[in-house]
Amino acid sequence: MQIPSTPSMIGLQDIDAPMELISKLTAERLLYAALVLLATWLVLRGSDAALKSLSRRVPRARFFFKSLSPLLRFGLWPLSGVIVVSIFAPSHQTLLAVLASTGIALGLGAQDLIKNIIGGVVILTDRPYQLGDRVKIGEAYGEVTHIGLRSTKITTPDDTVVTIPNSAILTGKAWNANSGVPDSLVVTELFVPHDVDPSEVIDLGYEVAYSSPYIRLSRPISVLLQDRFQDGPFTTVRIKAYVYDHREETRMQSDITTRAKAEFIRRGILLRWSRHDHKPSSAALRTNRRNEGDDLPRIAEEEVSADTSVAKVY
């Protein structure tokens, strides 16, 4: 006949559970558990180094090799935890007691850690970004170089590493520029006087974009103009083109800016910025420069007199 458990007996069993676990914490078992954790860490470090080497040797498969790193990290650490638990071989009751105590402790004191781990699982399954992507999370913009259990690391174009908790993806926004492919759209902004010839500037924008060594010719290119006013009128030139590797984004912007500015100077487009200083227009200066005449003061005087007459009418 089975005797039912009384409250006092249940209390004794709860006390025996941690005592049983403590009795199993022998030096030999602790050494085995430490070796398992150390082996897991070494395997992950070695796999990361091997995957990075493969991604450098095979650039086209770079994103595939880098996507394996977080998968290994999220798979091996839980597996090592199961092995460590099996080393100590606690009873079913002791294991439940330890899990309950750990759950309470984590729920009370490590809520942020749990959120970060959940965020890491979301990143792994939903894939808003992956290793090698160029993303913007909050104020940070750069290449994703690490996705761990707790945080994501981004290397900015200034070679600064920014660590972002994985929980930020649960409530925040993430902008992905390339989504797992090498090329990405690059927008280069240039500024010219407002009285330039639009057709000339647009043609020049296409010319400098197509001549850039970083361009991906299989993707479309567009040149857009927009008039703006800030301390005077000016025109913004936006050259939108795809770089063949998003890691060359800043170099492509610098190359397009250098080529465009050199051509603007050669054609005399930047000889005059605004009419507020009562100087002749860029077109008049270019004409005067080509003709090498001495009628520049006369042109300036005519424009000043014209502006004065218009002001009198109004």
Q: Which CATH number belongs to the domain containing residue 200 in this structure?
A: 3.30.70.100
Q: Which residue type is seen at 134?
A: R
Asked if 233 and 272 touch (Cβ cutoff 8 Å), the reply is: no
Do 53 and 94 reside in the same domain of the chain?
A: yes
Domain with 146, as residue range(s), is 134-176
Residue 105 lies in a domain: yes
Residues 249 and 292 in one domain: no
Residues 213, 241: one domain? yes
**What is the pTM assigned to this prediction?**
0.61
Residues 17 and 97 in one domain: yes
Report the 10 Å Cβ neighbour count for 212.
23
Q: 């942020």: which residue's tokens? A: 112
Structural domain includes residue 7: no
Q: Are 119 and 167 in contact (CB under 8 A)?
A: yes
In-domain check, residue 6: no
- Residue 154: inside a domain, yes or no? yes
Q: Please give the distance of CA 247 from its chain centroid, rounded to a whole number.
A: 11
pLDDT tens per residue across all 314 residues of the chain: 444 444 444 444 445 555 555 666 677 888 888 888 898 889 888 888 888 888 778 777 777 777 788 888 878 888 888 888 777 766 666 667 666 766 676 666 667 778 888 888 888 888 889 888 999 998 899 999 888 888 899 999 888 999 999 988 888 888 998 888 889 999 999 999 988 899 999 999 999 999 999 999 999 999 999 998 887 788 999 999 999 988 899 999 999 999 999 999 888 888 766 444 555 555 665 666 666 555 544 544 444 444 444 333 33
Together in a domain, 239 and 292: no
Judgement on whether residues 44 and 69 belong to the same structural domain of the protein: yes
Residue with tokens 């590493």: 161
4 located within any domain: no
List 234's β-bridge partners, or say none.
228
- Which residue among 73, 93, 109 closes a domain? 109
Residues 255 and 188 in one domain: yes
Question: How many folded domains does the chain comprise?
Answer: 4
DSSP string, 28-44: HHHHHHHHHHHHHHHHH
51 assigned to some structural domain = yes
Whether 124 is covered by a domain: the verdict is no
